[in-house]
Amino acid sequence: MPDTPLDEIRQRFDAQHQGSRAQPEVPLAVRRERLLRLDTLLREHAPVLAAAVQADFGVRSPRLTEVADFFLLRAQMAHTLKHLARWCRPRKVRTPLYLQPARAWLQRQPLGVVGIIAPWNYPVQLALAPAMGALAAGNRVLLKPSELTPHTSAKLADLVAQFFAPDEFCVVQGGAEVAAQVASLPLDHLVFTGSTAVGRRVALAAAANLTPTTLELGGKSPAIVDADCDLRQAALKLAHGKLLNAGQTCIAPDYLFVPHGSEAAFADAYRAAVARLFPYFEGNPDYASIITPRHLARLRELVQEARDMGADVQELAPVPGAPAPPAQSIGDGVARQMAPTLVFGATARMRLMQEEIFGPVLPVLGYGHVDEVVAHINAHPRPLSLYWFGRSDAVRDDVLARTVSGGVTVNDTLLHIAHERLPFGGVGDSGWGAYHGEAGFLRFCHEKPVLAQSRWSAGALLYPPYGARFDRVMGLLRRLM
Ligand code: NAD
């Protein structure tokens, strides 16, 4: 699909902007009907979207897309439809005595036009989850999906055009130039999901228009294994979290702390876990390809540099006698299926410990006391996620109290993203603002405070000219507070 011409992007924005200003109020029935259209789009076209995702990756199981893209979207849709009427209602607010008998409430209004710039790793979920929240809150949506998933982005553009009028929801396509144009529009809100580096540029561009942003960024999410922990279970959950989509997950555990002396036991447990999940890698339809040769080359460079600088790099081997790759061709994606790799002895001088890995490579660091772990985490940018494995509530609470991360899953990985009542987002370098559930609905609303004065108001007693009456009333008010 060719890039959307820049003047066409502006025209589409203008149409949405005019629509949002002409109809600032969007009745519940209209919002619900838009969501139901999105629901139908997803239900009827999930297989073709999953096939498009597979074509973009080379190897990426439609079942992975089912669980990581569609299931999450369905859960969000069901939760949104169930609670939408309540979320839309104005919230009554108690009025302090000194303002009574006035009444007050918060009126939840659509912002207008919400722009969404999405990444490639879960290309349906990360494009449509913010769109769903924005539509629920009564907004228009202008979406720019990733140029690295051209089949999925084209299919999304095509389907959204079938199901929505362009002034309700439209998709524009292209790379950095088109994305930068979207970020420079005077949008009412912009959701950007992607790298921290590009997020900084997006925040700067949005600032020129005072466009509020939600930045869903990346970073190095640590995982911690406590000494008092079921290592076999922890290794299985870490292997799943790390290797889902071959590590190309924003909330994947990036690196791991294990107690000194348990490195070898962890390596054995991790190997056993990987053997169970992915007995072989090349040609395994469940094990995703790295998205492009460039991304694969970068990962190989990180690993080679670590090896050259003295780290112990252990590339995992397929289980002996694992099945041969399936007969049907799954394209050149097989060449981009990178074996899971453990790295021991990584140091701060290695890029592996400086950049978000975003691949199936797990550095494992030994620690003596949990204070060292906390100090390491606090000396680095705030992570998007943190994972802790252990049995002691006291140690867990201590780690959670002394670290700040976007979200946490305890004794598992990734799952906090799937809980619709938990806001999802980053903090510091991993982003700002959160969405999902009611938090997402509110993200895309203006909660307008309204105070309705009563005809019995005594406020005029404080009007000028100031004198004895003012002092008496003020004295009374001070006693009432
Ligand atoms: P990216 O930052 O390279 O690209 C993301 C989007 O930004 C793409 O659509 C791209 O076209 C657009 N873009 C590029 N240049 C731009 C510019 N100058 N202005 C505006 N937009 C521009 O990220 P990616 O490689 O697609 O995704 C991987 C990154 O995203 C990782 O860091 C990962 O952790 C992060 N991520 C975060 C979340 C989250 O929810 N926090 C989810 C998925 C991915």
Q: What is the pLDDT of residue 211?
A: 98
pTM, 2 dp: 0.95
Q: Measured between alpha carbons, how far is residue 45 from residues 52, 116, 433 in Å?
A: 11, 21, 30
- Report the sign of the C-alpha dihedral through residues 346, 281, 318, 277, in that order: positive
Q: Is the CB of 292 under 6 A from ligand 1?
A: no
Q: What is the pLDDT of residue 324?
A: 67
Q: How far apart are CA 43 and CA 208, in angstroms?
A: 39
Q: What is the pLDDT of residue 349?
A: 97
Q: Is the CB of 356 under 6 A from ligand 1?
A: yes
Using the atom order of ligand 1, give the atom closest to the CA of residue 356. Answer: 32
* 114 touches 142 (CB < 8 A): yes
Nearest-CA residue for ligand 1 atom 23 is 194
Q: Ligand 1: which of 147, 190, 198 to mutate, most ligand atoms within 8 Å of CB? A: 198
Task: For residue 472, name the pLDDT band (cuts at 50, 70, 90).
Answer: very high
| Among 282, 374, 369, residue whose Cα is nearest residue 322 | 282
Q: Ligand 1: which of 190, 195, 196 to mutate, most ligand atoms within 8 Å of CB? A: 195
Q: What is the pLDDT of residue 322?
A: 77
**Which tens digit of pLDDT belongs to each residue from 222-276?**
999 999 999 999 999 999 999 999 999 999 999 999 999 999 999 999 999 999 9
Tell me which of 168, 250, 263, 445 is the catalytic residue: 250
88 carries an active-site annotation: no
Tell me which of 88, 168, 170, 216 is the catalytic residue: 216
Residues in the chain: 481
**Mean pLDDT for the stretch of residues 372-390:** 98
Per-residue pLDDT at 327 exceeds 70: no
Q: How far apart are CA 121 and CA 133, in angstroms?
A: 20
CB-CB neighbours of 154 under 10 Å: 16
* Mean pLDDT, the chain, whole residue set: 96
Q: Is the CB of 193 under 6 A from ligand 1?
A: yes
**Which tens digit of pLDDT belongs to each residue from 386-411?**
999 999 999 999 999 999 999 999 99
* 191 touches 214 (CB < 8 A): yes
Q: Is the CB of 69 under 6 A from ligand 1?
A: no
216 carries an active-site annotation: yes
Nearest-CA residue for ligand 1 atom 17 is 180
Task: For residue 326, name the pLDDT band (cuts at 50, 70, 90).
Answer: low
State the pairing for strand pair 213-216/222-225. Answer: unpaired
Using the atom order of ligand 1, give the atom closest to the CA of residue 148. Answer: 26
**Mean pLDDT for the stretch of residues 317-343:** 81
Q: Measured between alpha carbons, how far is residue 152 from residues 92, 158, 330, 337 in Å?
A: 43, 10, 17, 20
* 144 touches 169 (CB < 8 A): no
Q: Is the CB of 253 under 6 A from ligand 1?
A: no
Per-residue pLDDT at 330 exceeds 70: no
Q: How far apart are CA 183 and CA 185, in angstroms?
A: 6
Q: Is the CB of 312 under 6 A from ligand 1?
A: no
